[in-house]
Amino acid sequence: MIEVEHLNVHFGSNHVVRDVSFRVAAGETFGLVGESGSGKSTVLRTIAGLNAGWDGRMAVAGQALGPRRDRAFFQRVQMVFQDPYGSLHPRQTVDRILAEPLEVHGIPDAESRITRALEEVALPRTARFRYPHQLSGGQRQRVAIARALIADPSVLLLDEPTSALDVSVQAEVLNLLSDLREARQLTCILVSHNLAVVAHLCERLAVMQGGRIVEILSEAELRAGQARHSHTQDLIALSHELEG
Amino acid sequence: MSGMNNGKLVEIRDLRVDFPNPSGFTQAVRGISFSLGREKLGIVGESGSGKSVTGRALMRLLPQAARVRAEALRFDGVDVLAASEQQMRSLRGGRIGLIMQDPKYSLNPVMSVGRQIAEAWLAHNKGGRREARDAALSLLEQVKIRDPRRVLDSYPHEVSGGMGQRIMIAMMLAPNPDLLIADEPTSALDASVQAEILKLIEDLVSERGMGLMLISHDLPLVARFCDRVVVMYAGQVMEELPARDLHRASHAYTRGLLDCMPSLSRKRARLPTLNRDAAWLEPHA
């Protein structure tokens, strides 16, 4: 579903993503982990078309990506960001936020779709005419997920979707994401620094360091501690230590 | 240090904090009590549980509109509710240091690191600018910054998040505080940097014999790092226990929080979610 081959990204003279290649099968959830500055979010944002200055080859659903993304791309691929407060328009109601992608893509039947989207992410009906600041952090992230899903994408790019949330709310959002993925057969890429979160959602993952992928392993290998690269081993050890 | 009260640095009894809202008051803290000596106390809970408000109330840093009441709210014998503004100024940043979550926002972006630390030092020590600069350099060394001379002349945007937090800590140490309040000091940092910063705080606290109030939403982190843990929910203390016993916590809220975290060692198809029980909020007998 998603192919990335020899991707390089430069920010000015900084070479931040170096020769990154991976493939994600349809219906699979693929994790990108690493410390800040490892380039994991940059890879995701480059796929989404948020970074210029890349070379290499990227394709989604068999279609090669050029320098610009067209409307069809955004109907197929949607993104959820870390901080829902920063990614929702502060002066738009939830209703308006959810209606916009429908207008952009010329999708009819806004009324029933918005109602259904709110139900799907388990938001109360009353949330529809609220502003983002009137919702809790978990509710805001649900709105961001509802917005991403309302135009029926097949690919979801998730950039640290639960890092800004309490663990209790994180559990709810992670459960919601697994349910939606199941129900809609979504292909996902999840960027996170939290190995436990990645292991929970992903079948395979790539570990990044200094802009490179140092190793790709399966969830089972990750849980069993069967990592070949020393950086992965360090991350696993640290994660176990934090779990206590 | 002066005026020790049977080893208690902080004494909080029945603290209540209310914030006005259009239809009355929102109770952010509802009658909590605990005390703190020269030890590492963790305060954990979700957002909105009142943990930060508690730390701020002790420093009298809440907005004027907030209504703060307590049977006792004392720092080393000083009644924080009755203290004069001048007394409070010597406590805040003097005897009590506050480390906040994100150094990006708590450092002054247009002042060099050296000048900021020197300013903090000058505010609570007597001496000239030369001495202040020397003190700043020595503080940067104490927080284990490599190449402190270069960092002294750099600006906050030129340093990494972890280094920014070290600088914040250096600044807070300048006046030789008795108590450090660390409010989510590592939440904005990477796991590896997080471990380093906590180790640094731990070393400094034990070297200097300070008290530490570590406010965090991260239970496992607090359990590893503190001596004692106070678990807060909706403005109340649910339970207080030795940190090493946290995994044996008895309260349903604490158990629920521990249980809903995904784990690397244990695979589960679904994560249990927290069932909030209204009975938790009934006033304790």
- Residue positions counted in chain B: 285
Mutation site, B187, B271, B274, B280, interface A, largest A CB count within 10 A? B271
pLDDT digit string (tens) for B255-281? 999 999 999 988 898 999 888 888 888
Residues of chain A with C-beta less than 8 angstroms from the C-beta of B223: 244
> Mean pLDDT over residues A20-30, rounded?
96
Domains identified in chain A, total number: 1
Nearest-CA distance B272 → chain A (Å): 7
Q: Residue B4's pLDDT is what?
A: 46
Residues of chain B with C-beta less than 8 angstroms from the C-beta of A226: none
Q: Residue A244's pLDDT is what?
A: 62
> Mean pLDDT over residues B58-70, rounded?
95
pLDDT band per the 50, 70, 90 thresholds, residue A204: very high
Q: Which of B46, B264, B273 sits opposite A239 (nearest CB)?
A: B264
Q: Which of A35, A193, A195 sits opposite B264 (nearest CB)?
A: A195
Nearest-CA distance B243 → chain A (Å): 12
Q: Which of A137, A178, A223 sits opposite B264 (nearest CB)?
A: A223
Residue A80 has pLDDT above 90, yes or no: yes
Question: Mean pLDDT across chain B, nearest whole number?
Answer: 90
pLDDT band per the 50, 70, 90 thresholds, residue B283: low
Domain extent, residue A72, equals: 2-243
pLDDT digit string (tens) for A121-141? 989 888 999 999 998 888 999
Q: Alpha-carbon torsion B163, A205, A159, B47, what sign?
A: negative
| CA B28 – CA B48 distance, rounded (Å) | 7
Cα distances from B225 to residues B38, B54, B190, B202, B218, in angstroms, run: 14, 20, 17, 8, 11
CATH number at residue A31: 3.40.50.300
- The model carries a pTM of 0.84
Which residue carries 């799907």 as its tokens? A120
Residue B5 has pLDDT above 70, yes or no: no
Angle formed by the axes of helices A137-149 and A94-104, nearest 10°: 20
CB–CB of B9/B75 below 8 Å? yes
Q: Residue B187's pLDDT is what?
A: 81
Cα distances from B34 to residues A70, B41, B104, B232, B239, in angstroms, run: 59, 10, 32, 11, 11
If you measure CA to CA, which chain A residue comes closest to B258?
A: A167
Note the Cα A82 to chain centre separation in Å.
9
With an 8 Å Cβ cutoff, is A78 touching chain B?
A: no
C-beta atoms of A170 and B190 within 8 A:
no
SS3 A145: helix
